[in-house]
Amino acid sequence: MIEIKKLNHHFELGKKGQKTVLPVLKDITMEVKKGEIVSVVGKSGSGKSTLLNLISGFIRPTEGTIWIDGQEVTEFSEARFADFRLQHIGFIFQSFQLIPTMTAYQNIELPLILKGEGESKRKQIVNQLLEKVGLVTYKDHYPSELSGGQQQRVSIARALVLEPTLILADEPTGSLDSETEQEILQIIQKLNKELGITFLIITHDEEVARIGHRTIVIKDGRLMEGGVAV
């Protein structure tokens, strides 16, 4: 599902002629197989969020290649990657990223509208997802009228609406209490088991990481296995 080879990335700080190079990721090679839940664990500043942004196509790597679902995405144009994300990748964010002026139903429906799906089909899909995440009775509520856990359920349903093969989750339970965290993790595991969706979870929380079939540790920009850089 994801294949990364010799990925390096640095940021340039300062003005032209006085730039400082800040290495962030160093020679990353990794693979995520179809149907896996893989957790990437690291402290703040370790490079895990940069890795997620590179896989998402929001930034380009300094060196190396990234393959997703059989396609090399490294050299995609912004427009092509935007279309690729719409067709193949769902996102779950710590801060939910819901549109406050839209109801739960409308937030889930939006990607279908962008895709050009007809109203009847949209209604069928959204109602099925609302039922799947247990929010049928809250479909007309706005994000401000929902708890954190309910908002994350809306976010999960929105991530599923275009039937992605891959979901990237960035600290998906970081804003939730421990009880609600367990509910969200159970939903992720259920979706993986029943629908075969591949999940890549970025987290600093070892308890969250445990739901993964594999855990990758990133430290100082390098992947670690057994405490040794790989």
Map out the domains of the chain as residue ranges: 2-229
* Residue 230 pLDDT exceeds 70: no
CATH code for the part of the protein at 2-229 = 3.40.50.300
The 10s digit of each residue's pLDDT in 106-120 is: 999 999 998 899 999
pLDDT-derived band of residue 229, with 50, 70 and 90 as boundaries?
very low
Q: Are 184 and 216 in contact (CB under 8 A)?
A: no
124-127 contacts at long range (C-beta below 8 A, 24 or more positions apart): 125/161, 126/157, 126/161
User: Which carries the bigger pLDDT value, residue 13 or residue 209?
Assistant: 209
Across 27-52, average pLDDT: 92
pLDDT given at position 43: 87
* Residue 9 pLDDT exceeds 70: yes
The fraction of the chain above a pLDDT of 90, given in percent, is: 76
pLDDT given at position 226: 47
Across 168-180, average pLDDT: 89
- The C-alpha atoms of residue 172 and residue 101 are separated, in whole angstroms, by 22
* Residue 228 pLDDT exceeds 60: no
Across 12-33, average pLDDT: 86
User: Could you write out the DSSP letters of every residue in the chain?
Assistant: -EEEEEEEEEEEESSTTS-EEEEEEEEEEEEE-TT-EEEEE--TTSSHHHHHHHHHTSS--SEEEEEETTEE-TT--HHHHHHHHHHHEEEEETT----TTS-HHHHHHHHHHHHT--HHHHHHHHHHHHHHTT-GGGTT--GGGS-HHHHHHHHHHHHHTT--SEEEEESTTTTS-HHHHHHHHHHHHHHHHHH--EEEEEES-HHHHTTSSEEEEEETTEEEETTEE-
Q: Are 208 and 185 in contact (CB under 8 A)?
A: yes
* Residue 15 pLDDT exceeds 70: yes
**Tokens 């069928």 -> residue:** 124
Q: Phi then psi for 89, rounded to 5 degrees? A: -125, 135
The 10s digit of each residue's pLDDT in 180-200 is: 999 999 999 999 999 999 999
One-letter amino acid at 103 equals T
Q: Are 154 and 129 in contact (CB under 8 A)?
A: no
* Residue 76 pLDDT exceeds 80: yes
The 10s digit of each residue's pLDDT in 131-166 is: 999 999 999 999 999 999 999 999 999 999 999 999
For the chain, what is the mean pLDDT? Answer: 91
Q: Are 130 and 141 in contact (CB under 8 A)?
A: no
Cα distances from 161 to residues 20, 31, 122, in angstroms, run 42, 25, 9
Q: Phi then psi for 32, rounded to 5 degrees? A: -120, 120
pLDDT given at position 95: 86
pTM, to two decimals: 0.88
pLDDT given at position 225: 59
- The C-alpha atoms of residue 194 and residue 81 are separated, in whole angstroms, by 28
pLDDT given at position 44: 85
